[in-house]
Structure 1
Amino acid sequence: MKKTIAMGMAVLTALTLGACGGRNSGNAPAETAAKAAGESTGAAASESTAAATDPSGAGSVVTIKLGHVEAEDRSTHQALLECFKKDVEEKSKGQIQVDIHPNGALGGDTELTESVAMGTLEAALPSTSVLVTYSDDFGIMDIPWLFNDSQAAFDAMDGDMGVYFNQKLDEVGIKCLGYSYNGLRSMTNSAHPIAGPEDLKGLKMRVMENQVYIDFFNTLGASATPMSFNELYTGLQQHTVDGQENPPSLIYASKFQEVQKYLSLTEHTHNFLAFIFNKKFYDGLTADQQKILSDAAQHFVTEQRKMELADTQTFVDKLKSEGVEVNVLTEEQKDAFKKALEPMYTKYREVFGKDLFEMAEKYNK
């Protein structure tokens, strides 16, 4: 059986990579960001826009500087190279160049989003979790077990939920061209397996700087500890925190297996990365250039999601091979977590409103 599954995964991965042409193996207030995005404060954005619209052709090459925090061997970076960068540069005949900076080289998600909003960076791929700075409603995406499965989550973000969030970003000077998949988030720690809510009591769990995640873990009896992702490895190594939660592919790429003993496949959140551009920069491009970017972004999102889904079991197996103990939660065990989280669900139905919850939940049917 395992051999059959492995062969199936190999075929899926091969098809996915072929579709992409191959694969190599903080916080400014929303109103401040909106004002900054509407002013000519971004040298990078203004220069690129000028190059795109210069009738003399003297500055005809547009350069898009794009930052993200993912490792170079993750699906996000690989799909950016093979689907987005390749498409854009080929279809524009070299008139649009894409300069990608992985590994948080340009800052964490919060800093990257601020830079895009202000126009000092053309594009980035931050987690939707940090976008609560620009619209509180993004927090609903962090509600645990909001979607039944990945396809329901994809349909929501490709449907009216995505449209709703795009409008919120437009209001603060950010253009979103799609939502790639950061995977299903699960928990690791250095103390013991997590099979039920009681296993979290007393654990110091690193969370993103996001109130929903803070409430999630505190409600379950853990000590939620906000921490930048760039500081997380050291925090785990020095036992500033006992554990964290992320998709298996990111856990492995970040080498958390060196400082964590247990992986519990809680699969509590479907996490997305927003493919954002400075709106002033994007609006300054020609209609043809915008279509090239939009089409390439959609290609990237579609193929990256396939890559990430194919990678999940692969990286769980890799973590096992490096000594991490893995336990898979049953549906009954997940239900126990949901029951313990009922006070949190009640609170956030009031915070986000009935309509937004119904918008998400209809995709589970």
Structure 2
Amino acid sequence: MKKFLKVAILMTLTGTLLVGCGGPGDQKAGAGKDTTIKIGHVEPENRSTHQALVHFKETVEKDTKGSVKVEIYPNGALGGDVQLTEAVATGSLDAALPSTSVLTAYADDFGVLDMPYLFTSSEAAFNAMDGEVGDYFTKKLAEKGLVNLGYTYNGPRSTTTNVRPIAKPADLQGIKMRVMESPIFIDYYKTLGANPTPMSFTEVYTGLQQGTVDAEENPPSLILANKFFEVQKYLSLDEHTHNFLAFIMNKGKFDSLSKEQQDALVKAAKAYVKEQRDMELKDNGEAIKKLQEAGMQVNSLTAEEKAAFRTALSSMYDTYRNKFGNDIFAKAEKYNK
């Protein structure tokens, strides 16, 4: 039934959006007229992605004096990240917030952003995504007919286990680690001697509970929201990856707006990104405290300990520098200084 509802909603959107959304070649014949922007994402309504997006909706509608209405479809109501991205690219959906991990289908080197310990802090990651690194990928998306309005933050990914705290590379030896179905994440854990097991996110709790896997990695806010503390003993704040979502919009839809509407949208999106990131950092800090209160043993890695992981991954970095080219790595790494 749930699958049927998703299909039904998407079919309805397809019928209504093809008129106003279209492909990249659409002209601005209707520029300035009243319009509706439909946005899909997979996050639950209590997450910063959605909560700040509600403020974005209010701002856009106010600043355009109601000429632009915004409708938000959370919880994967219109499909997962892959389906949402495809819908925006084809014009059957106006906008979405997919993880940059799935955008490798549009530009292979988006995979660089999944590299463990690429950034030394969330601040370095933010500066990179608001600077040359973000600009680089935004141009890649533009080539595919996608306008990018900014990069929101999905949190610093950290590790939970039932075996032992993770403080040095050798601590991962032999651990059965649940990972996303990402070649980079699989290579990361294989390089450090763990046994990576690709598994759907919806199966993680049961997998941990039954011992199919010993460990998983996610931002603390998601670890708390999904109650992994009930089936995990240790939380190691290694912050190995800083995850981002791209706020993408169909170019045909964007071009159909008047200059005033576009300016209002871009301005509101910039404010949205800042608010969402601030909320996510705050949520993660509060989540760590709550996870400790729930009984998890928490250890935080020092800068030196994180650097040791990066050194242990040198062979993996060599492989992906050859694959993606050193230029994009250099762009990213200069923000760590």
Question: Structures share a fold, TM > 0.5?
Answer: yes
Q: Does 1:244 align with 2:235?
A: no
Higher relative contact order (CA 8 A, sep 6+): 2
* Conserved 8 A contact 1:49-1:285: no
CA contact under 8 A between 1:126 and 1:273: conserved in structure 2?
yes
Indicate yes or no: 2:184 matched with 1:217: no
Equivalence for 2:54 = 81
How far the C-alpha of 1:42 sits from its partner, in A, is 4.8
Q: How does 1:1-365 map to 2 (within 5 A)?
A: 42-49=14-21, 60-82=33-55, 84-365=56-337
Matched residues in 2 for 1:137 and 1:127: separation? 14
| 259 and 99 in structure 1: CA distance in 2 versus 1, 3 angstrom threshold | farther
SS of 1:323's equivalent in the other structure is coil
2:120 aligns to what SS in structure 1?
A: coil
Alpha carbons 1:62, 1:96 under 8 Å: kept: yes
Conservation of the 8 A alpha-carbon contact between 1:108 and 1:228? no
Q: What letter matches 1:86 in structure 2?
A: E
Instruction: Determine the C-alpha separation between the residues in 2 that align with 1:287 and 1:338.
Output: 46
Runs of 4+ in 1 over 6 A off after TM superposition: none
Measured against aligned partners, the alpha-carbon deviations of 1:245-264 in whole angstroms (never above 9, x if no partner) come to 11111221232223322211
Deviations 1:26-84 (A, max 9, x none): xxxxxxxxxxxxxxx9544323348x967699xx54222212222222211111112x1
Structure 1: runs of 5+ lacking an equivalent: 1-40
State the Cα distance separating 1:299 from its structure 2 match.
Answer: 0.6
Distance 1:241 1:124, change over 3 A: farther
- SS of the counterpart of 1:221? coil
Confirm or deny: 8 A CA contact 1:112 1:124 kept in the other structure.
Answer: yes
Deviates more, 1:64-73 or 1:124-133: 64-73
Specify every segment of 5 or more residues in structure 2 that has no aligned partner in the other structure, as ranges: 1-12
1:135-163 CA deviation, whole Å, 9 max, x = no partner? Answer: 11111111111122222211111112111
Structure 1 contact 130–209 (Cα < 8 Å) conserved: no
- In structure 2, the partner of 1:21 is none
Pair 1:292–1:232, CA change in 2 (3 A): farther
1:192-211, Cα deviation, whole Å (9 max, x unpaired): 32222222222232222222
- Give the aligned partner of residue 4 of structure 2: none
Q: Report the RMSD for the aligned CA atoms in angstroms.
A: 2.3
Q: Helix, strand or coil for the counterpart of 2:37?
A: strand
TM-superposed deviation, 1:86: 0.9
Q: CA deviation at 1:184?
A: 1.1
Instruction: Show CA shifts across 1:74-100 (max 9, x none).
Output: 211111112x11111111222222221
Alpha-carbon contact 1:129-1:208 (below 8 Å) kept: no
Q: Could you say if the C-alpha distance between residues 353 and 43 of structure 1 is closer, same or farther in structure 2, counting changes exceeding 3 Å?
A: same
> Secondary structure of the residue that 2:148 maps to in structure 1?
strand
Does the Cα contact within 8 Å between 2:292 and 2:298 map onto a contact in 1? yes
Q: Is the alpha carbon distance of 1:317 and 1:113 closer, same or farther for their aligned partners in structure 2, counting shifts above 3 Å?
A: same
Distance 2:208 2:83 in 1: 23
Measure how far apart 1:223 and its partner are.
2.0
One-letter amino acid of the structure 2 residue matched with residue 65 of structure 1: K
In 2, Cα distance between the equivalents of 1:66 and 1:240?
36
Residue 302 of structure 1 deviates from its aligned partner by 1.1
Q: Is contact 2:31-2:258 (8 Å) kept?
A: no
Would you say the 8 A contact 1:264–1:329 is kept in 2?
Answer: yes
How far apart, in 2, do the equivalents of 1:148 and 1:187 lie?
16
Name the residue aligned to 2:9. none
